[in-house]
Amino acid sequence: MVRRHALDIVDAAIAAVAPAGLVRTALADPVVRAFIGPGPVSLVAAGKAAAGMIHGFLGAVDQPIRRGVAVGPGPAAAMPAPVVWHRGGHPVPDAGSVRAGREALRCAADGPASGCLVVLLSGGASALLSMPAAGVSLEEKVETTRVLLDAGVPIHELNCVRKHLSGVKGGRLALAAAGRVLTLAISDVVSPVENDPGVIGSGPTVRDTTRFAEALAIVERPGIRPRVPARVRRLLEQGRDGVAAETLKTPLGTDRALYRVIGSRRDAMSGAVEAARRLGYLVTQVAEPVVGEARVAGAGHPSRAAEAVAAPAGPWCVVSSGETTVTVSGGGRGGRNQELALAAVDEIGRLGAEAVLASVGTDGVDGPTDAAGALVDSETPSRARDLDLAPPAAYLAENDAHAYFDRLGDLVRTGPTGTNAGDLQVVLAR
């Protein structure tokens, strides 16, 4: 029963950040509607929630769309004319990402000064909407992204490099528009500044506070520099030396730009909290995001959850969220949620005979696997021994959490959810 409740709570969290509903709520704000105005509207949507955000927007406005570009990770989604769907690559860009980036710039540039460019952003947009800067090929940008991902660099550092290798990020999309620019964003950004517009989708419509020198310092680190293509380093060096143009540094005026974060991990947590209360649990919500190395965060997560509960008088639930990282050193398969859950196996039983931890990505995708995350409970260690599985530490050493949970039948498979508000952890105990 507790296991089922954990999954029901996860489902409620994902439903709370359904993109169409978030967009409709945002458009009910008179300030947002007035900013769009009566003039021509151009539309760009990028990210894992692109399809849902577009349908939410088109269902809430009655003025025609002069041109539209959408890009997401899935197959062609049904889009009403004149919106054109592109399938892009994630977590690294591909040719579809570049086509979408090129068309997005054209869409912005073609709009009249009296019009409004509406940009709908969500997690994944950094890879899905791509336009390599002059002097760097797509393959070189892809290789750089892969190197940084394997090194486990935080998302804000990854996006710092991406922006300085891009012709569309770091405010360049907004610079291409002659008219007003409205951005509605669903955020999966938790650090270093939560919901930072400059990090969401690598900030295609806002000023960039990072510089070429910072991007260069990231790729110059030991273990990273030898694997980064020479032309990438050369471009970053040229930018540092003032030869290549910097990203947008002066923000557009309030009459030209409006930016709203319309959904985030906190909305997902609110959905989880409401569901847990309906199921009869005493609920504690942890405000501080769960970040850092997944295996480190997972090892102490059950204990931290128990400490957050004040004198439980019955079944209790702790809801948290965030985004951890994984430093890849082995040859296995998994993701940050599976790795966090695996690191918690040895400790979860200390919470009682009926305790469970679920860690799940709200986008339904955890690393290069078919799972959204995984679930562990008080009986996981004994069931693993019955199957003659090696200790969790052995699987962690190989980054092979997927194999461990697949044998146990404890992978959480939701399929792509069409949204992205970071990761969610739910701990239940009776």
Q: Return the pLDDT at 34.
A: 96
Q: Is residue 216 part of a domain?
A: no
Residue 391 and residue 307 share a domain: yes
Complete DSSP assignment for 10-25: HHHHHHHT-HHHHHHH
- What gap in Å lies between CA 234 and CA 422, rounded to an integer? 34
Q: Is residue 64 part of a domain?
A: yes
Residue 190 falls inside a structural domain: yes
Short-list 100, 117, 98, CA closest to 41: 117
In a domain, 171, yes or no: yes
Whether residues 86 and 171 share a domain: the answer is yes
Asked whether the beta carbons of 341 and 373 are under 8 A apart, the reply is: yes
Collapse the DSSP code of 61 into the 3-class scheme (helix H, G, I; strand E, B; otherwise coil) and give the result.
coil
Which of the listed residues 196, 231, 263 is the one where a domain comes to its end?
263
User: Is 239 within the bounds of a domain?
Assistant: no
User: Are residues 112 and 29 part of one domain?
Assistant: yes
- pLDDT at residue 252, rounded to an integer: 84
Q: What is the pLDDT of residue 376?
A: 98
Identify whether residues 170 and 295 lie together within a single domain. no
CATH number, domain of 405, equals 3.40.1480.10
Q: Are residues 283 and 399 in the same domain?
A: yes
Are 100 and 128 in contact by the 8 Å Cβ rule? The answer is: yes
Angle at alpha carbon of residue 321, lines to 278 and 155, rounded to 5°: 155
The rounded radius of gyration (Å) of the Cα atoms in the chain is 22
| Domain at 193, CATH number | 3.40.50.10180
**In this structure, are 54 and 187 located in the same domain?**
yes
Question: What's the number of domains the chain is made of?
Answer: 2
Question: What is the structure's pLDDT at 418?
Answer: 94
Same domain? For 345 and 198 the reply is no
Instruction: For residues 324 and 155, give the distance between their C-alpha atoms in angstroms, rounded to a whole number.
Output: 10
Residue 69 near residue 58, CB atoms below 8 Å: no
Verify that 103 and 33 share a domain, yes or no: yes
For residues 310 and 327, membership in a common domain is answered with: yes
241 found inside a domain: no
Q: Do residue 259 and residue 359 come from a single domain?
A: no
For residue 160, tell me if it sits in a domain: no
296 three-state secondary structure: helix
Beta strands at 180-186 and 257-263: parallel, antiparallel or unpaired: parallel
pLDDT score, position 328:
86
Question: Does one domain contain both 373 and 389?
Answer: yes
CA dist., res. 302 & res. 299, Å (int): 8
Rounded to 5 degrees, φ, ψ at 185 are: -130, 135
State residue 188's pLDDT score. Answer: 93
* 194 and 323 in a common domain: no
The boundaries of the domain holding residue 364 are 265-429
Does the bond joining 82 to the residue before it have cis omega, within 30 degrees of 0?
yes
Q: Considering the domain boundaries, does residue 155 fall inside one?
A: no
Full pLDDT tens readout for the chain, 430 residues: 899 999 999 999 999 999 999 999 999 999 999 999 998 999 999 999 999 999 999 999 988 899 999 999 987 778 888 999 999 998 888 999 999 999 999 999 999 999 999 999 999 999 999 999 999 999 999 999 889 988 888 878 988 998 999 999 999 999 999 999 999 999 999 978 899 999 899 999 999 999 999 999 999 999 999 999 999 999 999 999 999 999 999 888 888 999 999 999 999 999 999 999 999 999 999 999 999 999 999 999 999 999 999 777 789 999 999 999 998 889 999 999 999 999 999 999 888 889 999 999 999 999 999 999 999 999 999 999 999 999 999 999 999 999 999 999 999 999 999 999 999 999 999 8
In what order do the strands lie in the sheet containing 116-121? 83-87, 65-72, 41-46, 116-121, 180-186, 257-263
